[in-house]
């Protein structure tokens, strides 16, 4: 009887992971999750994963939550985003969010010639009328749905990953997604083909593929067009059209989305290579250890993928896209120096990454790969960055303390663009989130940062030497996500949100103590 119960629990452990793997694999390989059919599929798959996780907790009589406030902070953030969609009396909205009152009163946001700081006529009043804070309710609902997908992933991963094989399974899934994206991106850059997977253009050839409407909400470069006839510089630019450029790789957004994904995958690949290379009590040399463990082919494939990923990042031609990935890689390298590993191996892996990035920068100077995909306007052009900073500050001043609602930045920012046709997309996911969430986002981020800092200065020294590189890998990838949110656009793409929630869920468990995940534990979860 005991054997049957244990067998049932074993299969339940792994069966509840299958829906999550299917959702992430589908989003990662089929257009980043922006296609019309992905949202119902994700809701069904993640519901099954959560149901399996709850059954597992019930059978094992385990805890339902970790000793961490991060999930609660995420729930508060979703609650605030939902509150922004609720219609409120005009008097309340006028005192909390004057920009919302202006937009719903006149049908458009104030423009630079009629700045929000100047005296505006009173908006038309309608008796007993109610208006929401959010300025783009339809897009806000879509973004909230993506957040509600990420929270179950964060909860499930943190609670499910209580053994080392489970950790390696999830890390292998993320690394595999990064390797496939690197391979497809390399082939496209070599033969000069365009389109998702190098074959598919929006609204062509593939019925289940994304259309131009899907790309409108994806982290994709957009051109702004005038409303009405003529090209007078005193007209606003409220219509955004996705560019055909940038359709390279698997996901919409091209090199921008690829950079976000690799900021997580590159530290993970480095950590896996270090873990495979450890001594673990063996007296044989490095090559003999790999041969005895049957890991030689896997090690070579991972090294080659690491080189290709850094090569493509370097081919963008700018240093900024390299910062998040190498920030996470540096943190993982520091932990690898304290692991059961020859220092020359970890140093050689870092040098391979640096060589790949340097080769990419050299190629970009010779062939100009980055010029073919429209990425310069995000990372290179100083006027575009200055325009974005000016627009973001103006919207922040006008939105009061409440933000403008999820998904409303691209909808509102075009009203501030009068004399230049720069993209309406944000060039920083963090800046866009602060504008859309408002001051409450700063409070939630401050609480989460204080908790992470407090836990980080505690007992990581209790993790044994064999598993320090894995701990450093998880923390390094999480650090790459945090730096990427500050410097890169596009994290609202569904697959990137799921990847970020997965790695942050693993880091949250590590910060909570990681019982049985590593050999020793300094605190129960």
Please check whether residues 99 and 31 belong to one and the same domain.
Answer: no
Give the predicted TM-score (pTM) of the model. Answer: 0.87
How far is it, in rounded angstroms, from Cα 154 to Cα 151? Answer: 5
Max intra-chain CA distance, the chain? 83
How far is it, in rounded angstroms, from Cα 243 to Cα 289? Answer: 50
Please check whether residues 119 and 233 belong to one and the same domain.
Answer: no
Residue 239: DSSP 8-state: E
Tokens 């804070």 sit on residue: 133
Report residue 69: phi and psi, to 5°. Answer: -85, 0
**In the predicted model, what is the mean pLDDT of residues 342-367?**
85
Please check whether residues 210 and 310 belong to one and the same domain.
Answer: yes
Please check whether residues 164 and 263 belong to one and the same domain.
Answer: yes
Coil, strand or helix: which one is 130? strand
Please check whether residues 100 and 209 belong to one and the same domain.
Answer: no
Coil, strand or helix: which one is 263? helix
Highest mean pLDDT among 2-6, 105-109, 136-140: 136-140
How far is it, in rounded angstroms, from Cα 384 to Cα 425? Answer: 11
**In the predicted model, what is the mean pLDDT of residues 281-295?**
76
Taking CA atoms, 303 is separated from 174, 276, 277, in Å, by 16, 12, 12
For residue 289, the surrounding DSSP H or E stretch is: helix 286-293
CB 144 within 8 A of CB 78: yes
Please check whether residues 104 and 7 belong to one and the same domain.
Answer: no
CB 16 within 8 A of CB 49: yes
How far is it, in rounded angstroms, from Cα 302 to Cα 352? Answer: 12
CB 183 within 8 A of CB 218: no
Structural domain contains residue 411: no
Residue 11 has pLDDT above 80, yes or no: no
Number of domains in the chain: 2
Structural domain contains residue 517: no
Residue 143 has pLDDT above 80, yes or no: yes
Residue 243 has pLDDT above 80, yes or no: no
Please check whether residues 295 and 324 belong to one and the same domain.
Answer: yes
How far is it, in rounded angstroms, from Cα 478 to Cα 267? Answer: 9
Among 72, 104, 131, the domain boundary falls at 131
**In the predicted model, what is the mean pLDDT of residues 351-372?**
77
Q: CA angle, corner 501, sides to 376 and 37, nearest 5?
A: 80
- pLDDT confidence band for 266 (50 / 70 / 90): very high
Comparison of pLDDT for 454 and 497, the residue scoring more: 497
Which residues lie closer than 8 Å to 81 by C-beta, 6 or more apart? 140, 143, 144, 147, 405, 406, 437
pLDDT in tens, 292-332: 877 788 888 999 999 999 998 888 878 888 899 999 999 99
Residue 6 has pLDDT above 70, yes or no: no
pLDDT of residue 261: 92
How far is it, in rounded angstroms, from Cα 495 to Cα 260? Answer: 10
Residue 370 has pLDDT above 60, yes or no: no
Comparison of pLDDT for 235 and 184, the residue scoring more: 184
How far is it, in rounded angstroms, from Cα 402 to Cα 258? Answer: 32
**Rg for the chain, CA atoms, rounded:** 24
Structural domain contains residue 390: no
For residue 275, the surrounding DSSP H or E stretch is: helix 255-276
Structural domain contains residue 394: no
How far is it, in rounded angstroms, from Cα 492 to Cα 34? Answer: 10
Comparison of pLDDT for 108 and 350, the residue scoring more: 350
Comparison of pLDDT for 254 and 329, the residue scoring more: 329
Residue 15 has pLDDT above 90, yes or no: no
Report residue 222: phi and psi, to 5°. Answer: -130, 140
Please check whether residues 281 and 345 belong to one and the same domain.
Answer: yes
pLDDT of residue 116: 43
For residue 300, the surrounding DSSP H or E stretch is: helix 296-315
Task: Calculate the dihedral angle through the C-alpha atoms of 193, 194, 195, 200, rounding to the nearest 10 degrees.
Answer: -40
* Three-state SS letters, 67-126: CCCHHHHHHHHHHHHHHCCCCEEHHHHHHHCHHHHHHHHHCCCCCHHHCCCCCCCCCCCC
pLDDT of residue 120: 44
Residue 276 has pLDDT above 60, yes or no: yes
pLDDT of residue 525: 43
pLDDT in tens, 18-52: 899 999 989 888 888 888 888 889 989 988 888 88
Structural domain contains residue 315: yes
pLDDT in tens, 463-487: 666 777 888 888 899 999 999 988 8
Please check whether residues 224 and 151 belong to one and the same domain.
Answer: yes
Please check whether residues 245 and 113 belong to one and the same domain.
Answer: no
Among 67, 101, 131, the domain boundary falls at 131
How far is it, in rounded angstroms, from Cα 304 to Cα 300? Answer: 6
How far is it, in rounded angstroms, from Cα 52 to Cα 13? Answer: 8
Residue 268 has pLDDT above 90, yes or no: yes
Structural domain contains residue 341: yes
Residue 76 has pLDDT above 60, yes or no: yes
CB 246 within 8 A of CB 223: no
Structural domain contains residue 497: yes
**In the predicted model, what is the mean pLDDT of residues 161-168?**
84
Kindly report the average pLDDT of the chain as a whole number: 78
**In the predicted model, what is the mean pLDDT of residues 231-260?**
67
Which residues lie closer than 8 Å to 179 by C-beta, 6 or more apart? 265, 301, 305
CB 506 within 8 A of CB 451: no
Please check whether residues 210 and 296 belong to one and the same domain.
Answer: yes
pLDDT of residue 115: 42
What is the token pair recorded at 491?
Answer: 């994290």
Comparison of pLDDT for 204 and 8, the residue scoring more: 204
How far is it, in rounded angstroms, from Cα 67 to Cα 406? Answer: 29
pLDDT in tens, 404-453: 888 778 777 766 654 445 555 677 888 888 888 888 888 888 888 888 88
Please check whether residues 177 and 307 belong to one and the same domain.
Answer: yes
- pLDDT confidence band for 106 (50 / 70 / 90): low
Distance from CA of residue 359 to its chain's centroid?
26
pLDDT of residue 340: 73
Beta bridge partners of 222: 242
Instruction: State which residues form the domain around 335.
Output: 2-81+138-376+425-512
Residue 193 has pLDDT above 80, yes or no: no
Q: How many residues does the chain have?
A: 525
Structural domain contains residue 60: yes
pLDDT of residue 306: 92
In terms of phi and psi (left: phi > 0; alpha: psi -120 to 50; beta: otherwise), the region of 425 is beta
Q: Tell me whether strands 88-89 and 130-131 are parallel, antiparallel or unpaired.
A: antiparallel
């Amino acid at each position: 009887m005991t054997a049957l119960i244990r067998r049932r629990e074993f299969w339940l452990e792994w069966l509840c992971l299958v829906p999550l793997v299917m959702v992430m694999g589908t989003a990662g390989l089929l257009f980043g999750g922006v296609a019309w059919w992905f949202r119902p599929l994700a809701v069904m798959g993640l519901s099954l994963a959560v149901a399996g996780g709850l059954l597992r907790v019930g059978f094992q009589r385990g805890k339902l939550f970790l000793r961490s406030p991060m999930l609660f902070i995420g729930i508060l953030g979703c609650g605030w985003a939902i509150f922004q969609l609720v219609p409120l009396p005009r008097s309340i909205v006028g005192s909390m969010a004057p920009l919302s009152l202006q937009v719903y009163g006149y049908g458009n946001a104030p423009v630079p010639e009629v700045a929000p700081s100047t005296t505006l006529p009173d908006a038309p009043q309608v008796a007993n009328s109610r208006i929401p804070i959010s300025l783009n309710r339809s897009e806000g609902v879509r973004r909230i749905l993506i957040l509600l997908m990420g929270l179950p992933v964060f909860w499930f991963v943190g609670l499910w990953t209580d053994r080392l094989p489970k950790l390696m399974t999830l890390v292998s899934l993320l690394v595999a997604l990064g390797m496939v994206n690197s391979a497809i991106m390399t082939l496209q850059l070599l033969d000069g083909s365009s389109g998702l997977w190098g074959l598919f253009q929006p609204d062509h050839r593939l019925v289940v593929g994304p259309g131009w409407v899907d790309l409108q909400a994806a982290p994709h470069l957009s051109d702004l067009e005038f409303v009405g006839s003529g090209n007078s510089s005193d007209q606003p630019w409220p219509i955004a059209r996705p560019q055909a450029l940038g359709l390279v790789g698997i996901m919409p957004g091209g090199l921008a989305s690829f950079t976000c994904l690799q900021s997580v995958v590159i530290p993970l690949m480095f950590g896996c290579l270090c873990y495979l290379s450890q001594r673990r009590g063996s007296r044989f040399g490095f090559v003999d250890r790999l041969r005895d463990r049957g890991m030689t082919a896997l090690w070579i494939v991972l090294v080659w993928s690491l080189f290709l990923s850094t090569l493509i990042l370097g081919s963008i031609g700018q240093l900024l896209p390299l910062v998040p990935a190498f920030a996470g890689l540096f943190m993982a390298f520091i932990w690898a120096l304290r692991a059961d590993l020859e220092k020359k191996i970890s140093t050689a892996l870092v040098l391979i990454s640096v060589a790949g990035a340097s080769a990419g920068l050299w190629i970009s100077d010779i062939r100009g790969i980055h010029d073919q995909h429209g990425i310069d306007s995000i990372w290179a052009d100083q006027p575009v960055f200055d325009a974005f900073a000016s627009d973001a500050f103006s919207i922040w001043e006008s939105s009061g303390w409440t933000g403008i609602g999820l998904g409303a930045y691209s909808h509102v920012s075009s009203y501030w663009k009068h004399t230049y046709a720069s993209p309406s997309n944000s060039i920083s996911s963090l800046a866009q989130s602060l504008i859309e969430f408002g001051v409450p986002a700063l409070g939630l981020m401050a609480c989460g940062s204080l908790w992470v800092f407090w836990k980080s200065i505690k007992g990581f020294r209790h993790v044994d030497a064999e598993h320090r590189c894995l701990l450093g890998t998880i923390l390094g990838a999480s650090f790459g996500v945090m730096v990427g949110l500050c410097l890169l656009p596009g994290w609202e793409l569904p697959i990137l949100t799921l990847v970020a929630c997965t790695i942050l869920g693993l880091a949250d468990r590590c910060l909570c103590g990681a019982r049985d995940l590593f050999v020793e534990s300094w605190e129960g979860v």
